[in-house]
Amino acid sequence: MTQNNPFLSDWTGPFQMPPFDQIEDGHFAPAFEEAFLQSRSAVNAIADATDTPTFANTIEALECSEWLMDRVAGVFFNVSGSDTNPEREALQRDLSPRLAAFNSETMMNAKLFARIDMLFQGRETLGLTDEQDRVLELYHQMFVRAGAQLQGGSAKDLAGVLQRLAELGTRFSQNLLADERDWLLVLDENDLDGLPDFLISAAAEVAREREVDPEEGGHAISLSRSLLVPFLQFSTRRDLRQRALEAWTSRGANGGKTDNLAIAKETLQLRDQRAHLLGFKTFADFKLAPEMAKTPRAVLGLLMAVWEPALAAAEVDAFVLTEMMRGDGINGDFQPWDWRFYSEKRRKLEYDLDEAELKPYFQLDQMIEAAFYCANRLFGLTFKPLDVPLYHPDARAWEVLKGDRHMAVFVGDYFARASKRSGAWCSRFRAQSALDGEVRPITVNVCNFAKAPEGEPCLLTFDDARTLFHEFGHALHSMLSDVTYSFISGTSVARDFVELPSQLYEHWLSVPEVLEKFARHAETGEAMPAELLQRLLAAENYDQGFSTVEYTASALVDLAFHSAPAPADPMAKQAAVLDGLGVPKSIGMRHATPQFAHVFSGDGYSSGYYSYMWSEVMDADAFAAFEEVGDPFDADLAQRLHDNIYAAGGSKDPEELYLAFRGSMPKVDALIKGRGLEP
């Protein structure tokens, strides 16, 4: 279907947006075939050139060599993650190993690498700009780490390993989505005890969307986190809380064709082999070498510095919550499905906070406007709604402006659905660049908030609102990018630096001025009462022992998997790590191995789940700069933040960028203090 294929024609719509109203599933495969042909031809032409290598005829030529592949893949993989179907899943299974093979073919092209290496070795004589020098360094590093210096059988072995890893990662994520899509807890009127009105409404909407037989029950809970967590907080039915949480924690481990245990085992073995082929002792040594942390030892030091105070806090909390459970006449062990229920009760007692009271103040549309408002105050951005075709009716778009300058198109896709993988993320349909004229990005935020029934406002929890701000921080990193080369634009930075702009942006949600302006009651429109706002902010670090333990346990298991030989039994290894740490049975891991998509759906966060905490050390310190001057929107600080963090992409070493903003690197004490875990 190359004839009349929209991917092979000019995009003439507003801002050269993908023409989603013209794109059909049948267009993807032939467009990819053409992209493979064009990219291979362009790469070979660069490699086979007989003229002396220059930055322009080699590096800049590579920057332009995969424009069609970037266009097709940018649409396909975004749509597959947020609105998949059997045809897209089948194509993804076929494409993943082919793309890995093509990447290996390019990276291991000896003539191509020879040209890059010649440039790199003579870089001081080339008269490059600082940005070009950085791009050349990173290109050379990428080729070396992809096996460009390997020869013969080793090169072939590595290519095979990478293809198989791509295949396994796709299967892992599709299995996880299948388990999430296929499970439903149907509730009748007798099962709703304790549930607040907002959750009952959301559960009714799930039952309607999933076409549940009304005779079975008019409400249902899916494995969307924005439904599951409040159900665990409020349902008085301990048996149903257990069923729901066990379904969540058993995703990917239910046996049969969607089981992920064998995939995880093989993935770890292949990563071990990959590291050895490239001359590294362990996969963690390989993966961390280009990151800010550099070594597994440094990561372990950070995680353990936080682990001890977090565990101590969690153990105290577990004792208090167990006593509350005993007061209800339950004498068995305190279980994971009890924690959120009794923690919510305790929060009500100690802070007089009730999620049902808070939630009407956090309307989705208001929180989007709050995120836009902060971006305007900090960076001068404005957001103009766009009426353009998008890939799903729930998605919406805005043009992003700075004065009269077009900065980006921002797409928001906020509601959970069965065709969307779980979690929240930021991605892009097009990257920013300025090599061949200014190209501004098309950026997308995807979330999984529970959709309200038609005609009712979508209400978020405070944590949901924080997630929205987090992902919008990533989006700003993409949309404010102002570099020449797409290779280093936006979020193309070290993994343990990429979470800084997102986690830092979360802090503005808690600024009293922002909450006073946008936390308005869904029915009355009145601002959140000052006294309720004070209680909310006072409780902001409530239950940090629990959340820090479940996160850090996952990060430590990830590190243990990859900083030693691949385990024969990953689940036994996981259990040994948790036992050695003394993780309370009532908490466990945030992401157990069979559903640890960060680590097993691809290489992105493998040996890198720690990066959220590494970035948090910086984000706590970075926001403290605004607190020190007494103004969360201080213009001078905002300009430094823009220039050195949000607009700079990967144009400099991350530590250099942070030092340019803050003047010194922070210590882990900032994180411990920020989480309220000081002894």
Residue 383 three-state SS: strand
pLDDT band at 414; cut points 50, 70, 90: very high
Query: Residues with Cβ < 8 Å from 664, sequence gap 6 or more?
Result: none
In tens, the pLDDT along 582-608 reads: 999 999 899 999 999 999 999 989 999
Distance of CA 370 to the CA centre of its chain: 21
Is there a single domain that holds both residue 516 and residue 550? no
In tens, the pLDDT along 455-502 reads: 999 999 999 999 999 999 999 999 999 999 999 999 999 999 999 999
User: Residue 176: beta bridge partners?
Assistant: none
Q: Is position 173 within any domain?
A: no
Is there a single domain that holds both residue 477 and residue 440? yes
Strands 425-430 and 396-402, by their bridges, are: unpaired
Is 454 among the catalytic positions? no
Among 60, 399, 471, 616, the active-site one is: 471
Q: Is position 648 within any domain?
A: yes
Rounded Cα–Cα distance for residues 592 and 250 (Å): 9
Is there a single domain that holds both residue 239 and residue 342? no
Q: Is position 170 within any domain?
A: no
Q: Is position 587 within any domain?
A: yes
Query: Residues with Cβ < 8 Å from 4, sequence gap 6 or more?
Result: none
Is there a single domain that holds both residue 454 and residue 568? no
Q: Is position 271 within any domain?
A: no
Report H helices in 108-196.
110-121, 130-145, 152-182
- Name the domain boundary from 514, 538, 562: 538
- Name the domain boundary from 145, 170, 192: 145
Domain limits for position 32: 6-107+109-145
Counted domains in the chain? 4
Is there a single domain that holds both residue 306 and residue 414? no
Residue 295: CATH number of its domain: 1.10.1370.10
The total of other beta-carbon atoms located within 10 Å of residue 679's CB is 7
The share of the chain scoring above pLDDT 70, in percent, equals 100
Task: Tell me: pLDDT of 1 over 70.
Answer: no
Q: Tell me the one-letter amino acid at 47.
A: A
Task: Tell me: pLDDT of 3 over 80.
Answer: no
Report yes or no: 284 and 557 within 8 Å, Cβ to Cβ: no
Report yes or no: 418 and 387 within 8 Å, Cβ to Cβ: no
In tens, the pLDDT along 204-263 reads: 999 999 988 888 889 999 999 999 999 999 999 999 999 999 999 999 999 999 999 999
Is there a single domain that holds both residue 526 and residue 416? yes
User: Residue 382: beta bridge partners?
Assistant: 401
Is there a single domain that holds both residue 121 and residue 18? yes
Is there a single domain that holds both residue 367 and residue 454? yes
At CB < 8 A and 24+ separation, what contacts does 625-630 make? 625/661, 625/662
Q: Annotate 210-267 with three-state secondary structure.
A: CCCCCCCCCEEECCCHHHHHHHHHHCCCHHHHHHHHHHHHCCCCCCHHHCCHHHHHHH
- pLDDT, averaged across the chain: 96
Task: Tell me: pLDDT of 2 over 80.
Answer: no
Residue 99: CATH number of its domain: 1.20.1050.40
**pTM of the complete model:** 0.96
Q: Is position 25 within any domain?
A: yes
Task: Tell me: pLDDT of 55 over 90.
Answer: yes
Is there a single domain that holds both residue 558 and residue 530? no
Q: Is position 96 within any domain?
A: yes
In tens, the pLDDT along 122-157 reads: 999 999 999 999 999 999 999 999 999 998 899 999
Q: Is position 455 within any domain?
A: yes
In tens, the pLDDT along 169-181 reads: 999 999 999 999 9
Quote the Cα angle for 96-63-398, to 5°.
Answer: 75
Is there a single domain that holds both residue 51 and residue 137? yes
Is there a single domain that holds both residue 287 and residue 337? yes
Is there a single domain that holds both residue 620 and residue 664? yes
Average pLDDT of the residues in 11-24: 96
